[in-house]
Amino acid sequence: MDQNQTIPSSDAVLDAGGESCATLTPLVKAKIRELLSGDVLEVRSDDPAAREGMPSWSRLTGNELLAVVVEDPTRTRFYLRKK
């Protein structure tokens, strides 16, 4: 993680441990649909492919990726702001 990166506070958390990218993005889509515009969703993932998949999903959907926190080689947290 960039030492200057600010970790945003989240309005909701999706713990997606054990999910692959193929199942992760539909889960994120469903969870973010429950939020209000401007709310922040924290997504916790242990899928290394999510480090490429979540930024791509963010660009495609217009939901802003605010921060990526790499906790260790397998666990990552993503912070998405709903458009």
Six-digit token pair at 68?
């990526």
CA 17 → CA 3, 45, 74, 79, distances in Å?
A: 25, 5, 10, 15
Is residue 40 exposed (0-12), middle (13-18) or buried (19+ Cβ within 10 Å)?
Answer: buried
Q: Looking at domain 12-81, what is its CATH homologous superfamily?
A: TusA-like domain (3.30.110.40)
Distance CA 62, CA 65 (A): 9
Map out the domains of the chain as residue ranges.
12-81
pLDDT tens digits for 2-58? 556 789 999 999 999 999 988 999 999 999 999 999 999 999 999 999 999 999 999
- 57's enclosing H/E stretch is helix 50-61
> In this structure, which amino acid lies at residue 13?
V
The reply to whether the predicted model has a pTM over 0.75 is: yes
